[in-house]
Amino acid sequence: MARRKVEDIIRLVDSHYDSTEPLRQRMEDDHSLYRMEEYDAGEGYQSYTSNEPRTYADKVMGWISSAEMTVRISNEGADEEIREKNDQKERFLIGILRAADERLCSMMLPEIREQLAWYSVLRGWYAGRAVLAKREDGTTYVDITPWDPLHTYWGTGEDGLEWACYKVPKTSDQILSQYGIKVDWQSNIDGVMVYDFYDKEMNTIIIHNGSRDRPQLRVVKKQIKHGAGKVPVFIGPVGSNPYIVALNQTGMQDTIADVGESVFSSTRDLYDKHNLMMSTMLELTARSRRQGLKVRSRDGTKTLDDDPYLEGSEISLAVGEDVEPLGMLEVARETGAFMGLVAGEMQRGSLPHTVYGEVAFQLSGFAINSLRQGVETVVGKYLRSVEKAYRMIFNIIGDQYATGAYQAMELSGMDRNRVYFSQEITSDII
């Protein structure tokens, strides 16, 4: 494969951004829900922001992070020697995960499963890099680094991934510490864009600053062979929604946002309505504490200097002046029923309240089992997506290690029989 020009790499990434912008905007909007960005009911009005999106997403992430994972290679029909080798293969896979997690923890990053749970639940996609790398002394270490799908770009062909790139802004200090290159560009105060680009043979890192018309480009890592034999990147969407091509270009761009949905796919439009109604109730509650006042005076200019709602307050009035409350406002009679309908749709699109320990009345065993099935429907596709990510990681790392281009690694961990191991596993076994 011929080496790619730097300009062609930037053009590939920019083109993919243009075609997937609705998807990335949806990811940003979902993250805003998770961060509980304050709902704005209007200037001067009480605003209520529900914690429902965050608690819902955290519950699903918690289930994924705490789920038991079993690494198993089938031994059906295998003799004793093959079984022993398969056991060592299982230990190899368990060991590389532990080594990769320890590396991430030393960098003050969450473990692989926790990051995959976060991205799959909130982004609706998973992505990352899975490579074996060599230290200066020639020893091998495992680099499994999940990527934020929001900043991941890719291209596919008949045999899968053709290229992938992780594009994120970094400061000049970060670039200096990571790549040993001093960048004195000052035009971008938010940082300089760093492109970590992989194709089937090469890896290169490029920094980019400026507009598309007048780019400033610099290669901080020349194109070198990564030795994986394929693009060493795992990417995939959550769920079963395929790409749906509409009859026109605009429609095709719109449908890309439906691929790889987050947990908010059924409820994201309901949260604003819920916040609006709760803000209205909060406003009326606040007004019940401090009702509006009607102040009468001869020339209509009288105002109250002190707060009349404070205990023991006094109001001095002249002849012809008067102060009286405006009276309480009430919501429409249909408000309660409407709030119940919205709450029901939110619950059907997320998790039943019983998973949080809220049981308004006694439930039968049949009802509890029905609710449990509803939970499995919500959680199942995210568990399967993390499982797919692990399978892709195992295939990528296993293929690299099997080439024999890396020194044998000593790995440790707890195998599926709950037996601790620490052993050197050679590439010929894999």
Residue 285's H or E segment, with its range, is helix 268-289
pLDDT over 70 at 14, yes or no: yes
Cβ-contact 33, 49 below 8 angstroms = no
Q: Which of 160-164, 178-182, 214-218 has the lowest mean pLDDT?
A: 214-218
Cα–Cα distance between 219 and 117 in angstroms, integer?
33
At residue 2, the pLDDT reads 67
Residue 296's H or E segment, with its range, is strand 293-296
pLDDT over 90 at 329, yes or no: no
Instruction: Provide the β-strand partners of residue 230.
Output: none
Using 50, 70 and 90 to split pLDDT, how confident is the model at 325? confident
Q: For 32-49, what is the mean pLDDT?
A: 92
Radius of gyration of the chain (CA): 29
pLDDT over 70 at 210, yes or no: no
pLDDT over 60 at 424, yes or no: yes
Cα–Cα distance between 104 and 8 in angstroms, integer?
32
At residue 272, the pLDDT reads 92
Q: State whether residue 206 is helix, strand or coil.
A: strand
- 120 is written with which tokens? 């799959």
Using 50, 70 and 90 to split pLDDT, how confident is the model at 215? low
Q: Specify the amino acid at residue 170.
A: K
The per-residue pLDDT of the chain, averaged, comes to: 85
At residue 340, the pLDDT reads 86
333-381 confidence digits (pLDDT tens): 788 888 888 888 888 888 877 777 666 556 566 565 666 666 888 889 9
Cα–Cα distance between 257 and 234 in angstroms, integer?
20
Q: State whether residue 193 is helix, strand or coil.
A: strand
pLDDT over 60 at 421, yes or no: yes
Cα–Cα distance between 382 and 118 in angstroms, integer?
10
Residue 286's H or E segment, with its range, is helix 268-289
374-405 confidence digits (pLDDT tens): 688 888 999 999 999 999 999 999 999 999 88
* DSSP letter, residue 264: T
54-64 confidence digits (pLDDT tens): 999 999 999 99
- 79 is written with which tokens? 């003799």
